[in-house]
Structure 1
Amino acid sequence: MTRALERINNSLTTKKFNRNEFLLFVNYYELKNQERFCYTLMNDGKPRYYYSQQAIDFIIGEYVKDPENIIQNLKKKLKDGNKKS
């Protein structure tokens, strides 16, 4: 996740994402369940998630559509129990 977050932050000039904001996208869009966005390696019986360049591009693309509101909208949608599959 750290490298994905670094790549997102390097691509955005006006906003820096933190871990919680990154996880809003992961959870709402269920990125961990989509092979094109994420792959999982088991390390000592624990999953370790790696995000693809496609995931990074997707998050940036969604963010730039509505940079002023997307974080709050995702928080609200997740709080209401909504996920986008």
Structure 2
Amino acid sequence: MTVHWVYVIECDDGSFYTGYTTDVERRVREHDRGEGAKYTRGRTPVELVHTEAFETKSAAMSREYEIKQLSRPRKERLIEGPSE
């Protein structure tokens, strides 16, 4: 069974990039080498700060869209995780 991932990386300039993949480690390496999304080129190195796993591509893509719509403060809270 393929696991579908939504990930958030923090770029060297402090901005966040959210994406979808089936292989998080490979995708982060691609971003680091400047071979990922156009947005992350020139903003390397990147750091993986958040991941979420889904059973279907559709569910992952929907969540990716939701995260991309969040304000920066909401993304920061998502990355920090639940408060205790």
TM-score (norm 1): 0.35
**Structure having the larger proportion of residues in helix:** 1
TM-score (norm 2): 0.35
